[in-house]
């Protein structure tokens, strides 16, 4: 814990109040910080934008990447008013900030009706046994796209 | 398996070829289908849009939600050229389509350098032990935003 962590986490919490006040979405905020400056921020915008992926963390990551002109957040810290859900955790791993600081927990979110825990449980099940069933077909046909990819030269790895 | 599943999964695979051909991103495609019609589609656009969340599934879900004017994909089927990563799996659970059909597997993706498995392993670790360390602070302050949320009347639940 340091002074900057407290300062920026409080800004994420402030956004968690501001989003609902603007009727944007649920009580969640996030900021991305690089070299002591905020380079991306958002609150939840799911219902107001009809975008189920518009969680605060995803939107703050997208905002920071757009402003920095990169799809990798090296040297950045993500501050979130609540522990990230599985979708946001995945987004964090693809964006690769140095670390994450969060305030409220999954359990706190579940207590007001945002049940991330259910998704965490579903991830561990075999695809066909999930509440949204997932079935596999045509693997051989799909591999053609992967083989083609390996033959592309000078492609951007990510 | 039915005829429609094969038809739409082949369209997702076609998009997995088209994305790299357009230098948009990796070899992944997805379509969302409702009542036998495609209502959303995309290929991976991560490097071309500087958006680490622009996976085919996330983008197809966002496209379908925007076109349908909703943040819930009831009655829809998601077809993906590859098994969804943890981020996309989370997005699927928030969007709630009826089911998912995919072609290539996580292992196939790992074999060409897209290591979803690492993220699946990280999710199961305690936050502080992850390769991107996650620490918690200021829980009591953050709960204020949750309490405020519970007092809002006529809010959109999601």
Mark yes or no for CB contact A90/B90 under 8 Å.
yes
Chain B hits for A75, CB-CB cut-off 8 Å, are none
Mark yes or no for CB contact B62/A72 under 8 Å.
no
Compute the distance between CA of residue B7 and CA of residue B1 in angstroms, rounded to an integer.
11
Residue of A11, A18, A57, A83 marked active site: A57
Question: Over the stretch B24-45, which tens digit does the pLDDT of each residue have?
Answer: 999 999 999 999 999 999 999 9
pLDDT at B1: 61
Compute the distance between CA of residue B56 and CA of residue B78 in angstroms, rounded to an integer.
11
Helix (H) or strand (E) holding A11: helix A3-21
Chain A hits for B3, CB-CB cut-off 8 Å, are none
A69: distance to nearest CA of chain B, Å? Answer: 6
B28, B3 in Cβ contact below 8 A? no
Spatial CB neighbours of B15, under 8 Å, sequence gap ≥ 6: B29, B30, B31, B41, B42, B43, B56, B81
pLDDT at A1: 61
Chain A hits for B156, CB-CB cut-off 8 Å, are 25, 47
Mark yes or no for CB contact A101/B156 under 8 Å.
no
Return the half-sphere exposure (C-beta side, CA atoms, 13 A cut-off) of residue A41: 19
Match 């009727």 to its residue by tokens: A23
Please check the confidence at residue A154 and state whether its pLDDT lies above 90: no
Written as six digits, the tokens of A9 are 């986490």
How many other C-beta atoms are found inside a 10 Å radius of the C-beta of residue A39? Answer: 19
Question: Over the stretch A83-116, which tens digit does the pLDDT of each residue have?
Answer: 999 999 999 999 999 999 999 999 999 999 998 8
A34: distance to nearest CA of chain B, Å? Answer: 16
**Partner residue opposite B71 with nearest CB, options A27, A51, A102:** A51
B43, B21 in Cβ contact below 8 A? no
**Partner residue opposite B53 with nearest CB, options A61, A68, A139:** A61
Mark yes or no for CB contact A50/B29 under 8 Å.
no
Of B62, B119, B66, whose CA–CA distance to B94 is shortest? B62
pLDDT band at residue A156, thresholds of 50, 70 and 90? confident
Q: Helices (DSSP H) in chain B: which residue ranges?
A: 3-21, 46-49, 56-68, 86-95, 106-111, 116-123, 139-150
Q: Which residues of B are catalytic?
A: 57
> Predicted ipTM?
0.95
| Predicted TM-score of the model (pTM) | 0.96
B71, B92 in Cβ contact below 8 A? no
Return the half-sphere exposure (C-beta side, CA atoms, 13 A cut-off) of residue B79: 29
Mark yes or no for CB contact A53/B51 under 8 Å.
no
Phi and psi angles of residue B44, each rounded to the nearest 5 degrees, phi first:
-60, 135
Mark yes or no for CB contact B50/A70 under 8 Å.
yes
């Amino acid at each position: 814990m340091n002074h900057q962590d407290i300062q920026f986490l409080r800004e994420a919490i402030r956004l968690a109040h501001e989003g609902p006040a603007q009727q944007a979405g649920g009580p969640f905020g996030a900021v991305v910080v690089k070299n002591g400056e905020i380079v991306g921020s958002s609150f939840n915008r799911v219902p107001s934008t009809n975008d189920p992926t518009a969680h605060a963390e995803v939107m703050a990551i997208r905002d920071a990447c757009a402003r920095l002109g990169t799809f990798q957040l090296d040297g950045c810290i993500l501050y979130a008013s609540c522990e990230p859900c599985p979708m946001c955790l995945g987004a964090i791993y693809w964006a690769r900030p140095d670390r994450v600081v969060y305030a409220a927990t999954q359990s706190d979110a579940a207590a007001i009706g945002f049940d991330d825990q259910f998704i965490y449980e579903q991830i561990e099940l075999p695809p066909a046994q999930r509440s949204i069933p997932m079935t596999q077909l045509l693997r051989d046909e799909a591999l053609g796209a992967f083989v083609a990819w390996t033959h592309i030269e000078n492609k951007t790895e990510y």
